[in-house]
Amino acid sequence: MSHISPTIWQFLVKWMTNFALFPPEASKIAPQMDALYFFIALVSLIGLTIVILLVVSFSILYSKERHPNAVQIEGSTLLEATWTIIPLGLFLVMFVWGALIYFRVYTPPANAMNIYVVGKQWMWKAEHEGGQHEINSLHVPTGRAVQLTMISQDVFHSFSIPAFRVKREAIPGRYTTVWFEATLPGTYHLFCTQYCGTNHSQMIGDVVVLSPEDFKQWLASSTSGASLAQDGERLFASLSCAACHNTRPDARGPSLANVYGAKLTLTSGQAITADDAYLREAILNPSQHITQGYAPIMPTYQGQVSEEGVIALVEYIKHLDSDYRVQQTTTTTDLLPEGGGKATPAGPAPAAAGKVNP
Amino acid sequence: MPDSSAIDHGAVTTAGDAHAEHPSYQRHHFETVEQQADASAFAMWLFLLTEVMFFGGLFTAYLIYRNWYYPAFVSASHQLNVVWGTLNTVVLILSSFTMAMGVWCAETRRRRGLVLCLTLTMTLGLVFLGIKTVEYKEKIEKHHVPGQHYSLQSFLDPAHDEAALAAGDKPLALDMARHTEIYFSLYFAMTGMHALHMIIGIGILAFMIFRARAGAYTGGHVTFVENFGFYWHFVDLVWIYLFALLYLISRHQ
Amino acid sequence: MSATIISLPDQSTARIPKMNYLTKENGLLSWLLTGDHKRIAILYLISITFFFFIGGALAGLIRLELLTPQSDLMATDTYNKVFTMHGVIMIFLFLVPSVPATLGNFFIPMMLGAKDLALPRINLLSWYLYVLGGILVIYTMVSGGVDTGWTFTTPLSTHYVNTNVLSTGMAVFIAGFSSIFTGLNFIVTIHKMRAPGMTWFRMPLFVWAHYAASILMVLGTPVLAIAVVLLALERTIGIGVFDPVKGGDPLLFQHLFWFYSHPAVYIMILPGMGVISEVISTFSRKRVFGYTAVAFSSVAIAVFGFFVWAHHMFIMGISNYAVLVFSLLTMLVAVPSAIKIFNWTFTLYKGSITFETPMLYAFGFMGLFTIGGMTGVFLGTSGTDIHLTETYFIVAHFHFVMVGGMLMAFLAGIHFWWPKMTGRMYPEKISQMAAVVTFIGFNLTFFPQFILGTLGMPRRYAAYPPEFQILNVFSTAGATILGVGYLLPVLYLVWSLKYGEIAGDNPWQATGLEWQTQSPPLTENFTELPIMDHEAYDYEWLENQKTKEVASAG
């Protein structure tokens, strides 16, 4: 937090906010970022004042009437060194301070509550773990770390909450994350800040910060019934993932219980942590993400499952701590005719007779 | 009315009158032919530097994607015909030799020698383009041109593809097979850009042959031929890199 | 303000010299097929002014739309096209060629004591490529425009718009080669065609600035070319280098694009800084303080400028460690610019200062560029960039450096060298007033945008929340004043061609070889090869010249 008197700080920020010159501070990181902002502003102001003072006073003192004969001065190494080293020093302070804040904003704590955000032209879809879905709005509680795991379905978008001082691009093809902890209940702007086509300026909404009790109420009242993980379980069954990913001794794929967060070794020898990004890639581009010891036979689901579907699957796998229910669905699939569900049966990719359209 | 240009402006002191005899091909803003030749050679080197930056972007993209999608790139590169590629390399190196000979002929004022060398260079360039056409045709027939008609067949089922069979390729999984399209995108972009530079070079060679027959380059003014030589050698060098990266890497696993 | 260093010949007897580069040959073809760097500079001046006013009109439309929170003046799609075309035209058709192609072309040979640039026909080709690029942009505008933003972000530009991306891409590609050839010409000329005695450290700082900018033009622009080629291929035949579904990566386009587009901003500003060096020196009658530091800082900006491009991508998903590296390098590149500001300030120390129009523009530059530069530090600092990027803070930042900085420097240069190029002076009082009007209008237009950005207003928005309206209204009001400030010079400069006072060889009593010849200059610049036997900005040498002339006349 800032080291200047809290009273002055409050006065400064509140006054500027009331005069619509400064956004409200509604997250834990906001005052930290503002402190840096004011520091840079102060240095800029001082620098500008020095330059203006010097230029104005030299212009007066050395105007042609006052000082008709110019004195040729080659330079001064001392001055050059001074105005190189001091700005450099100040800039480096800003660099370090800024880097600390940057890392803080983009390194979510382990216990953060996760909300998935999918951006598409021209709306934001937020999905809470309990299955609550929101469009162009985001309800969050105070006092709790909230992580946003984001992806875009089409072009680059950028999820921005000025009152929290956070912003992150949502791009197609990979997850991006940002986190915050809201501190002040209220409603704040949500903007898309990466130009994304016709209705870019309509891709806005509200971030509603509620007290923890109000948030619990909101969760209860807006659930559609199934949580994301339950949606994921349904998808897992309908895509016949359990045909390989089960606990049978001859299982063709690894069991997925407790795999989230585990350290895995891939067939290439590379050691990775099974996080959201890995799980997504393993579903869409499996050949490079096969666990060591298993044959590279997992087919890709690119084109068969949407980003929301992938999110549901990832959520499901995240919460999978036993294969009990997987066993149940395996047994059921066994009873169905061969190839039940949309996925291709296990085995090498069949040689299609004609052209394969990707 | 006195012409102000006649006033001595102080700074403009005379350095001796060097205008009197200068070759007809010396442009008026240069003081000596040496300065002119020096400046144009320097300009050509600078231009080639911009070409390096131009191709550099493509090479960077290639290296990144090759690192990411190694199996796809290996399989895709096996679809290129090393025989044609080697032949093309030999043809280009030969053409660089004939070009260098041409520069020597210009410098030693051998008009007929110069015309012969330039003609040989151009012919070899055309042979290169001919071979490239054959290769491109094959790619089109096998649906390896990126875009709407791109086919993954050769990579999903190498047993039924001559080139893949010969290289002993294993079938790729579908998602990895899709990445072969990136290889071919870069293949066509890089060799296409290179071919474009070849075509421009051949055009200039045609012009030069025409002028060389009239003795334009064997009267002492060799700069044009020399600078074009730099350009031609550069295009040759780019091909050698392309050949190595696209055809040769990982040929034998 | 009453003292002045303007020294004109006796107007009752003075005449424009009959033989000069403008009168040497007549007829349209003599202009369209010229090799004379001065004529090519004039051709460029006319064409970039033309495109500047188109870009300016588009800016006016933007500000008009933003008077109200709703997207009500024009369809949102149209607004998107307007700001895209504004960016494309202003950057590629105005800012990049502005000082180099007009003042650089005209004066670098003269400053070096040469008769022309090294490659006059390449110079002419460069202008034709520029014109071709411009025609393609006009074609784009009349056939429906393009609405991707001047940054052509993929996959929006490859798969999600139906507008004229290809023709704009082609225009940028071709205009890029115009820029490459200009830079190439400058580098060769500076290396190979300096007059005897003109060592590197006797060259005017204007030349040093252009040398640094030329390195950037030559090495950076080709990468933009390849980015555009790949973009076109992806858009037309779907090659997939930027498409995640096919395994490509849209961030690759960002890297390729910004690898050029960041050095591009230094291509734009360095020549302007060169102008400021000349103007401040002349109007304080002093050698630039720390000549060597200013010369080296230009080159330092060029070199460092190549290594900071990803600061445009801090929140796009590049790794935190990459952000560290690029943020640090960005801090380093900020230092040479600060050095220059201080060196110019101390050039005023113990000088003999007058406030003619070029000097007013130079002062404006110094204040506005300092603000613009410091706001760049806000953005290079990764922590604050998170909040400020993609908002109006960015818009304000780059307009401060490009318009408050570069455009002011361009106007300073035009006013400074106008007497040399045309032989005429413009009316001093009106021009000083225009400079002040521009300064006021500029601040009113763009300063509120810093506040808007801090509040979080995103850029490229046709509609915005109502609480942002007041600041937007201020901004639009300022834009009106700014427009007047830019229109006035066109009017009085054209007026001066017929009615302005005769300037004579050296109305500002400046050093520099270009001022030691007639105005307008001869086609071959000098009647005899100059010998450089004194340092740059040698005002004592100038005094000696004058006493010699007086003695010989008497």
Q: Is pLDDT larger for residue A224 or for residue B7?
A: A224
- Neighbouring subunits of C (3+ Cβ pairs under 8 A): A, B
Q: Identify the residue whose tokens are 């006092």.
A: A143
Q: Mean of the per-residue pLDDT values for chain C?
A: 94
Quote the pLDDT of residue C239. 84
Asked whether the beta carbons of residue A355 and residue B153 sit closer than 8 angstroms, the reply is yes
Residue A52 has φ and ψ, to the nearest 5°, of -65, -45
Asked whether the beta carbons of residue A64 and residue C465 sit closer than 8 angstroms, the reply is no
CA distance B230 to B216: 19
Asked whether the beta carbons of residue A352 and residue B156 sit closer than 8 angstroms, the reply is yes
CB A283 within 8 A of CB A305: yes
pLDDT band at A149 (very low <50, low <70, confident <90, very high): very high
Asked whether the beta carbons of residue A195 and residue C460 sit closer than 8 angstroms, the reply is yes
Asked whether the beta carbons of residue C230 and residue B28 sit closer than 8 angstroms, the reply is no
DSSP string, B100-165: HHHHHHHHTT-HHHHHHHHHHHHHHHHHHHHHHHHHHHHHHHTT-SSSTT---HHHH-GGG-HHHH
Q: Which residues of A touch C156 (CB under 8 A)?
A: 155-156, 195-197
Give me the residue from C76, C292, C353 closest to A201, CB to CB: C76
The one-letter amino acid at C508: W
Instruction: Among A9-23, A218-232, A239-253, B202-216, name the most confident range.
Output: B202-216
Quote the pLDDT of residue A354. 35
Listed range (A328-332, B175-179, C292-296) with the worst mean pLDDT:
A328-332
Provide CB contacts within 8 A for A62, sequence distance 6+: A70, C284, C348, C349, C350, C351, C352, C353
What are the Cα distances from residue C58, in Å, to A72, A259, B129, B152, C308? 46, 56, 47, 47, 30
> Considering only CA atoms, which of C373, C445, C393, C417 is closest in space to residue C517?
C417
Listed range (A225-239, C143-157, C280-294) with the worst mean pLDDT:
A225-239
Listed range (B12-26, C63-77, C502-516) with the worst mean pLDDT:
B12-26
Question: Which tokens in the block code for residue B189?
Answer: 């972009």
Give the strand pairing for A166-170 and A123-128: unpaired
For the segment C456-477, the average pLDDT, to the nearest whole number, is 95
A351 — contact with chain B (CB < 8 Å)?
A: yes
- Rounded to 5 degrees, what angle do the CA atoms C335, C339, C343 make? 175
CB B163 within 8 A of CB B78: yes
Q: Domains of chain A (ranges plus CATH)?
A: 6-105 (1.10.287.90), 113-222 (2.60.40.420), 228-335 (1.10.760.10)
User: Dihedral angle at the C-alpha atoms of C536, C540, C544, C546, nearest 10 degrees?
Assistant: 80
For the segment C74-78, the average pLDDT, to the nearest whole number, is 94
CA distance A157 to C155: 11
Quote the pLDDT of residue B253. 61
DSSP string, A153-210: SSS-EEEEEGGGTEEEEE-TTS-EEEEEEB-S-EEEEEEE-S--STTGGG--EEEEEE
Q: Is the dihedral of CA A54, A55, A58, A61 positive or negative?
A: negative
Give me the residue from B12, B58, B146 closest to C238, CB to CB: B146
What are the Cα distances from residue C488, in Å, to B3, C409, C411, C427, C432? 34, 16, 12, 11, 11
3-state secondary structure of B72: helix
Provide CB contacts within 8 A for C545, sequence distance 6+: B9, B10, B11, C516
pLDDT at C335 over 90: yes
Give me the residue from B1, B18, B182 closest to C240, CB to CB: B182
> Considering only CA atoms, which of B31, A200, B156, A88 is closest in space to residue C332?
A88
- Domain boundaries of chain B, sorted by first residue: 53-248
Provide CB contacts within 8 A for A168, sequence distance 6+: A106, A148, A150, A158, A159, A176, A177, A178, C315, C317
Print burial letters for B17-54: b (CB count within 10 Å at least 16), e (below 16): eeeeeeeeebbebbbebebbbbbbbbbbebbbbbbebb
CA distance A65 to C515: 25
Asked whether the beta carbons of residue C256 and residue B11 sit closer than 8 angstroms, the reply is no
Query: Does residue C12 fall inside a structural domain?
Result: no
Provide CB contacts within 8 A for C499, sequence distance 6+: none
Q: Which residues of C touch A121 (CB under 8 A)?
A: 160
CB C261 within 8 A of CB C312: yes
Question: Which tokens in the block code for residue C261?
Answer: 């587009």
Listed range (C489-498, C508-517, C544-553) with the worst mean pLDDT:
C544-553
Q: Give the H/E segment covering residue A116.
A: strand A113-120
CA distance A170 to chain B (A): 22
Give me the residue from C17, C223, C248 closest to B182, CB to CB: C248
pLDDT at C553 over 60: no
CB A285 within 8 A of CB B177: no
What are the Cα distances from residue C473, in Å, to C66, C79, C449, C455, C480? 8, 17, 11, 16, 11
Which residue of chain C comes nearest to B34, CA vs CA? C192
CA distance B15 to C128: 36
Could you say which DSSP state residue C407 is in?
A: I
Which residue of chain B comes nearest to A302, CA vs CA? B175
CA distance A251 to chain C (A): 29
Query: Does residue C4 fall inside a structural domain?
Result: no
Query: Does residue C7 fall inside a structural domain?
Result: no
Provide CB contacts within 8 A for A143, sequence distance 6+: A181, A182, A183, A212
Segments forming the whole domain that contains residue C533: 28-553
> Considering only CA atoms, which of C247, C104, C208, C223 is closest in space to residue C172?
C223
Query: Does residue C18 fall inside a structural domain?
Result: no
Q: Which residues of B touch A356 (CB under 8 A)?
A: 151-153, 156, 174
Provide CB contacts within 8 A for A133, sequence distance 6+: A125, A126, A127, A224
The count of structural domains within chain C is 1
Question: Which tokens in the block code for residue B156?
Answer: 């999903």
Asked whether the beta carbons of residue B156 and residue A298 sit closer than 8 angstroms, the reply is no
CA distance A258 to A271: 17
CA distance A334 to chain C (A): 33
Could you say which DSSP state residue C244 is in?
A: G
- Rounded to 5 degrees, what angle do the CA atoms B52, B54, B55 make? 70
pLDDT at C14 over 70: yes
B176 — contact with chain A (CB < 8 Å)?
A: yes
A284 — contact with chain B (CB < 8 Å)?
A: yes
CA distance A22 to A331: 60
| Regions of chain B short of the pLDDT cut 70 | 1-21, 253
CB A209 within 8 A of CB A185: yes
Quote the pLDDT of residue B17. 47
CA distance C295 to C301: 10
Q: pTM for the full model?
A: 0.90
Q: Which residues of C touch B27 (CB under 8 A)?
A: 120
Asked whether the beta carbons of residue B69 and residue C247 sit closer than 8 angstroms, the reply is yes
pLDDT at A185 over 70: yes
Quote the pLDDT of residue A355. 34
Q: Is the dihedral of CA C315, C317, C318, C321 positive or negative?
A: positive
Quote the pLDDT of residue A9. 78
Quote the pLDDT of residue A329. 60
Asked whether the beta carbons of residue A70 and residue C284 sit closer than 8 angstroms, the reply is yes
pLDDT at A331 over 70: no
Count CB-CB contacts under 10 A for residue B199.
Answer: 13
Quote the pLDDT of residue C248. 87
B178 — contact with chain A (CB < 8 Å)?
A: yes
Q: What is the CATH number of the domain that holds C391?
A: 1.20.210.10
3-state secondary structure of C428: helix
Quote the pLDDT of residue B194. 97
Give me the residue from A87, A103, A156 closest to C156, CB to CB: A156
CB B122 within 8 A of CB B192: no
Asked whether the beta carbons of residue C317 and residue A167 sit closer than 8 angstroms, the reply is no
3-state secondary structure of A152: strand
CA distance C124 to C39: 10
Asked whether the beta carbons of residue B173 and residue A287 sit closer than 8 angstroms, the reply is yes
Asked whether the beta carbons of residue B175 and residue A351 sit closer than 8 angstroms, the reply is no
Asked whether the beta carbons of residue A40 and residue C374 sit closer than 8 angstroms, the reply is yes
Question: Which tokens in the block code for residue B113?
Answer: 């020698």
Which residue of chain C comes nearest to A173, CA vs CA? C244
Q: Is pLDDT larger for residue C243 or for residue B191?
A: B191
What are the Cα distances from residue C35, in Å, to C30, C124, C126, C184, C523? 9, 6, 11, 16, 10
User: Dihedral angle at the C-alpha atoms of C469, C470, C474, C475, nearest 10 degrees?
Assistant: -30
Asked whether the beta carbons of residue B182 and residue C247 sit closer than 8 angstroms, the reply is yes
Quote the pLDDT of residue C551. 63
Q: Identify the residue whose tokens are 């704590």.
A: A109
CA distance C25 to A298: 77
Quote the pLDDT of residue A356. 32
Which residue of chain A comes nearest to B142, CA vs CA? A355
Q: Is the dihedral of CA C265, C271, C277, C279 positive or negative?
A: negative
Q: How many CB pairs under 8 A join A and C?
A: 290
Q: Is pLDDT larger for residue C545 or for residue C225?
A: C225
Assigned architecture for domain B53-248: Up-down Bundle (1.20)
Mutation target vs C (from B53, B69, B238; most C CBs, 10 A cutoff) = B53
pLDDT at C79 over 50: yes
Listed range (B27-41, C96-110, C336-350, C395-409) with the worst mean pLDDT:
B27-41
CA distance A64 to B54: 52
CA distance B191 to chain C (A): 13
Question: What is the end-to-end Cα distance of chain C in Å, rounded?
Answer: 33
CA distance C42 to C33: 13
CA distance B193 to C330: 34
Q: Give the H/E segment covering residue B74.
A: helix B70-77
Mutation target vs B (from C186, C241, C516; most B CBs, 10 A cutoff) = C241
For the segment A79-85, the average pLDDT, to the nearest whole number, is 95
Residue B34 has φ and ψ, to the nearest 5°, of -60, -40
CA distance A152 to A170: 5
Which residue of chain C comes nearest to A52, CA vs CA? C367
Query: Does residue C5 fall inside a structural domain?
Result: no
